[in-house]
Amino acid sequence: MSGLIVSLLWLLLFVGGGIYLAYQRVDLRTSTIAVGIAVLAYWILGDGPVLWKLVLTALYGLMVVPNLIEVRREKIAKPLFEIYRKMLPSMSDTEREALEAGNVWWDGELFSGMPEWDRLMSYPAPKLSDEEQAFMDGPCEELCRMLDDWEISHELADLPKRVWDYIIEKKFFAMIIPKQYGGLEFSAYANSCVLRKIASRNATAGSTIGVPNSLGPAELLLHYGTDEQKQHYLPGLAAGTEIPCFALTSPHAGSDAASLIDSGVICKGDWQGKEITGIRLNWDKRYITLAPVATVLGLAFKLYDPDHLIGDKDEYGITAALIPTDTKGVEVGRRHYPLSIPFQNGPTKGKDVFLPLDCIIGGTEMAGKGWKMLVELLSVGRAISLPSAAAGGGQAASYATGAYAVIRKQFNTSIANFEGVGEALTRIAGNTYIMNAALSVTAGAIDQGEKPSVPSAILKYHCTELGRDVSNDAMDVHGGKGVMMGPKNYLGRAYMATPIAITVEGANILTRSLIIYGQGAIRCHPFVLRELHAAGDEDQDRGLIEFDNALFGHIGYAISNMARSFFLALTHAKFSRVPLNTPTRRYYQNINRYSAAFALASDFAMLTLGGSLKKRELLSARLGDILSSMYLASTVLKQFENQGRRATDLPLVEWSVRTLMYQAQEALHAFLINFPNRWVATVLRLFIFPRGRTYSPPSDEIGARVVALVTTPGESRDRLSELAYTTLEPGNPLGLLQEALELSKEYGPLERRLRQARKEGLIDADYLGQQIDEALKAQVISQAEARSLRDYNEKVLALLGVDDFTSDELARVPAESQTPTPPRKAPRKKTASKKSAPAKRAASRKTASKKKTEKT
């Protein structure tokens, strides 16, 4: 063997072996032994110059030092520990509480750069119990039947009384309340199924039922209430004799809810004829769902104790209390009008409302703990109610639009056959699949005891954004049919409702820019939170030991991610270990690759930008997008397994994962382009994209398979919309559209016969109705066939139809009661003045622009 080849083999041994050890995350001690053996072998067998051997040995020495724990702790970790403690960004209590809320689940695995897929795969597929299934098939189905959107949204601006009564009687408000208090005690998954079904039918009912089952008095009481409070309120909340709401937002404090100025002052006062120590509350809140009809108001305010009646502190911070709305000084009843979706929502005010101390949820022990309570509960609630509303809407939109695009014909063919329409249909179906997967898998994890705060922010943001995309696409495919409001319009109202879900429970721009990654970076990173805690430890010796362990773990983790990111990118992750050998195998590998790249980029961002990363919202948002794409794609793969790996669903799975991972690639690219330290960005690009951006979005061919799936009656189309209200009955567009779709497939051959007859000149007419008459005359079809076709045609025309109204029907105020427009005063004639030429031109321009504005 020539000397060159031998040298190359040694190089391969050291570089390849090093990458292998880092890639596999072999621990430091074992790696040091393995490298030591290789160095020794090189000394004995290698024929390179001694200088090389010495350099190699010196480099090896750098690897040995971290194994000498006492030395490394004193000489390396300690100085860094001192610097780190000084650099530590200050963190407010509210920030710390938000960070510590919930726990770390699959998000932590994705953050690790080496996800342990068995952890996700070991979670059982969520299932409804018999009782929950019976509720879905019984009361939930019946409630959907009772909902008439036009009546609710246009005529009554409220749910009709019979619907309110039914909701209360069947305990729709009590899904999360345990049975011991009279509630239904449903799982998070069942809760999400019920909400998805209702949302597929009506946005007003969906919002009304979503709120009490999410973050509200019941949830707060269950987790933090005293026994007396639970006994006092929960049976009433379960029975529906108490209607809850929760008021946090105020005119000054929206997204920055913790800056609220509503106050509660501890003082002596009169309560039922006796002097007691209580709280005097003043508040001004807005946007509060159910406030206009609430009997019990959950209130967030800042608690003060200037006379030290309950302790030594002057100020306790944000506190939550329950306030009966019939208490003197409480104002509820007025309503906001959220985008013409008339669920009960309105302002509330309180002026010097005096209540005993036991109105504080959890009693005085919980004074000042309100923010912690809210963020803890949001870590679960945010994953259920709004994502369910979006996914339910998506299921309805997929089902309706898939059918509509078949029965609506233009240019003599179904519009579904046009590729442009197909592209929108593909997005509708694919995005719906993603929303369902994310929701079902995450709800299943919650039922297994997880409180995944970062995934719940991911779900809140992405499901509501995907819901908005689906709604936009569905409107486009429906054309004018989606635009013309009236009882026949089944899309317009849901379209109008999309910004509501975008805004509530953390408005989306803020959620993307600050919460997903901002919370995830510290929470899910395997070492950063440990380092922070260590640096903040009052016992410095203990802190140093923990800091040292975390720091060296962190360094090993960063080296490993460099190796993994590079190797996985170079090989397109083809050799990466995955849990299954199925057609979806490559997608697991792709996620492995991006997990390593994300972990690497994330570490460098934190290292070079430190606390200022929080302010670089666009960088932080892009990192959040990558994490979100991986999380959503993982849930798609898990959902595919949970649903029994149905081959017919593969187009949806492929489209979804490809789209998400392509987005991850593009977000990573945009992150690197905008990374402020260009040297670091260049190095990162080398490790992340050594072969460039090679991942492509889903092909048109996959899209065409998705279109076929969503426009053809069958199990995959049904499964995609399995929770939507699709019963065939008058007044339910989804059932009627499905019927028309099935008929269109049945009568397809007949329609083709008519088209052929037209080509041959046997019939002349353009439209099906006339064609049937002519075809019958020309004996192209039989009487029975003509009857069936006419029946089908009538059904289609009814579904394609829109409403029209007289002006009086549309006007809220009848013409005769309108106040007449006062006659206009004739403009006073100005006496001609002698103006300069430019002044005259300016005056004439002004008149022209005024005329134009009036015209507009």
Ligand X SMILES: Cc1cc2nc3c(=O)[nH]c(=O)nc-3n(C[C@H](O)[C@H](O)[C@H](O)COP(=O)(O)OP(=O)(O)OC[C@H]3O[C@@H](n4cnc5c(N)ncnc54)[C@H](O)[C@@H]3O)c2cc1C
Touching ligand X, residues 621-640 (CB under 6 A): none
Among 126, 139, 212, 338, binds ligand X (CB under 6 A): 338
**254 sits near ligand X (criterion: CB under 6 A):** yes
Whole-angstrom CA distances from 206 to 194, 385, 501 are 9, 9, 11
Binding mask 796-825 for ligand X (x = CB under 6 A): ------------------------------
As a whole number of angstroms, the distance between CA 718 and CA 436 comes to 13
Among 152, 167, 198, 288, binds ligand X (CB under 6 A): 288
**Residue 760 annotated in active site:** no
* Closer residue to ligand X, CB minimum distance, 501 or 652: 501
| Residues counted in the chain | 856
Tell me how far, at minimum, the Cβ of 215 lies from ligand X, in Å: 8
Count, residues near ligand X per rule CB under 6 A: 21
Tell me how far, at minimum, the Cβ of 519 lies from ligand X, in Å: 13
Tell me how far, at minimum, the Cβ of 336 lies from ligand X, in Å: 7
Q: Which stretch in 282-290, 415-423, 430-438, 608-616 sits in contact with ligand X by CB under 6 A?
A: 282-290
Tell me how far, at minimum, the Cβ of 292 lies from ligand X, in Å: 11
As a whole number of angstroms, the distance between CA 684 and CA 607 comes to 13
Question: Nearest-CA neighbor of 670 among 646, 693, 698, 640?
Answer: 693
* Closer residue to ligand X, CB minimum distance, 381 or 556: 381
**255 sits near ligand X (criterion: CB under 6 A):** yes
* Residue 414 backbone dihedrals phi, psi, to 5 degrees: -60, 140
Tell me how far, at minimum, the Cβ of 216 lies from ligand X, in Å: 8
Q: Are 359 and 321 spatial neighbours (Cβ–Cβ below 8 Å)?
A: yes
* Closer residue to ligand X, CB minimum distance, 6 or 507: 507
Residue 662 is which amino acid?
A: Y
**42 sits near ligand X (criterion: CB under 6 A):** no
Tally of CB atoms within 10 A around 33: 12
Residue 14 is which amino acid?
A: F
Binding mask 213-252 for ligand X (x = CB under 6 A): --------------------------------xxxxx---
**157 sits near ligand X (criterion: CB under 6 A):** no
Q: Which residue has the tokens 């939109």?
A: 397
**432 sits near ligand X (criterion: CB under 6 A):** no
- For residues 181, 186, 188 and 191, what is the CA-based torsion angle, rounded to 10 degrees? -110
As a whole number of angstroms, the distance between CA 504 and CA 386 comes to 8
Among 187, 204, 229, 345, binds ligand X (CB under 6 A): 345
484 burial via Cβ count (<10 Å: 0-12, 13-18, 19+): middle
Tally of CB atoms within 10 A around 472: 16
Among 173, 287, 566, 671, binds ligand X (CB under 6 A): 287
Tell me how far, at minimum, the Cβ of 677 lies from ligand X, in Å: 23
Whole-angstrom CA distances from 599 to 623, 660, 677 are 10, 17, 18
**594 sits near ligand X (criterion: CB under 6 A):** no
* Closer residue to ligand X, CB minimum distance, 299 or 466: 299
State the pairing for strand pair 296-304/345-356.
unpaired
Binding mask 1-20 for ligand X (x = CB under 6 A): --------------------
* Closer residue to ligand X, CB minimum distance, 289 or 635: 289
Tell me how far, at minimum, the Cβ of 18 lies from ligand X, in Å: 42
* Closer residue to ligand X, CB minimum distance, 502 or 650: 502
As a whole number of angstroms, the distance between CA 564 and CA 23 comes to 5
Tell me how far, at minimum, the Cβ of 100 lies from ligand X, in Å: 20
Beta strands in 693-826 (DSSP E): none
Touching ligand X, residues 497-526 (CB under 6 A): 500, 503-504, 507, 509-510, 513-514
Q: What is the DSSP letter of 616?
A: -
Question: Nearest-CA neighbor of 554 among 36, 97, 80, 38?
Answer: 80
**199 sits near ligand X (criterion: CB under 6 A):** no
Residue nearest to ligand X (CB): 254
Beta-bridge partners for 304: 265, 315
As a whole number of angstroms, the distance between CA 741 and CA 475 comes to 19
Tell me how far, at minimum, the Cβ of 288 lies from ligand X, in Å: 5
Tally of CB atoms within 10 A around 32: 18
Q: What is the DSSP letter of 90?
A: P
Tell me how far, at minimum, the Cβ of 256 lies from ligand X, in Å: 6
- For residues 154, 497, 390 and 346, what is the CA-based torsion angle, rounded to 10 degrees? -90
> Within the chain, what is the greatest distance between any pair of CA atoms?
112
Q: Which stretch in 196-204, 287-295, 317-325, 728-736 sits in contact with ligand X by CB under 6 A?
A: 287-295
Catalytic residue among 132, 465, 505, 654: 505
Touching ligand X, residues 120-139 (CB under 6 A): none
Q: Which stretch in 191-199, 286-294, 537-545, 768-776 sits in contact with ligand X by CB under 6 A?
A: 286-294
Tell me how far, at minimum, the Cβ of 248 lies from ligand X, in Å: 3
Tell me how far, at minimum, the Cβ of 629 lies from ligand X, in Å: 20
* Closer residue to ligand X, CB minimum distance, 310 or 510: 510
* Closer residue to ligand X, CB minimum distance, 247 or 445: 247
**708 sits near ligand X (criterion: CB under 6 A):** no
Tally of CB atoms within 10 A around 773: 13
As a whole number of angstroms, the distance between CA 167 and CA 151 comes to 17
* Closer residue to ligand X, CB minimum distance, 289 or 456: 289
Helices (H), 225-369: 227-239
Among 31, 94, 214, 289, binds ligand X (CB under 6 A): 289
* Closer residue to ligand X, CB minimum distance, 513 or 793: 513
As a whole number of angstroms, the distance between CA 301 and CA 287 comes to 16
Binding mask 444-483 for ligand X (x = CB under 6 A): ----------------------------------------
* Closer residue to ligand X, CB minimum distance, 123 or 461: 461
As a whole number of angstroms, the distance between CA 390 and CA 393 comes to 5
Q: Are 622 and 671 spatial neighbours (Cβ–Cβ below 8 Å)?
A: yes
* Closer residue to ligand X, CB minimum distance, 212 or 394: 212
As a whole number of angstroms, the distance between CA 100 and CA 523 comes to 7
Q: Which residue has the tokens 């899910």?
A: 524
Q: Which residue has the tokens 């992750």?
A: 573
**205 sits near ligand X (criterion: CB under 6 A):** no
DSSP 824-847: PPPPPPPPP----HHHHHHHHHHH
Q: Are 176 and 186 spatial neighbours (Cβ–Cβ below 8 Å)?
A: yes
Residues engaged in binding ligand X (CB under 6 A): 245-249, 254-255, 287-289, 338, 345, 500, 503-504, 507, 509-510, 513-514, 617
Give me the active site residues, please. 505
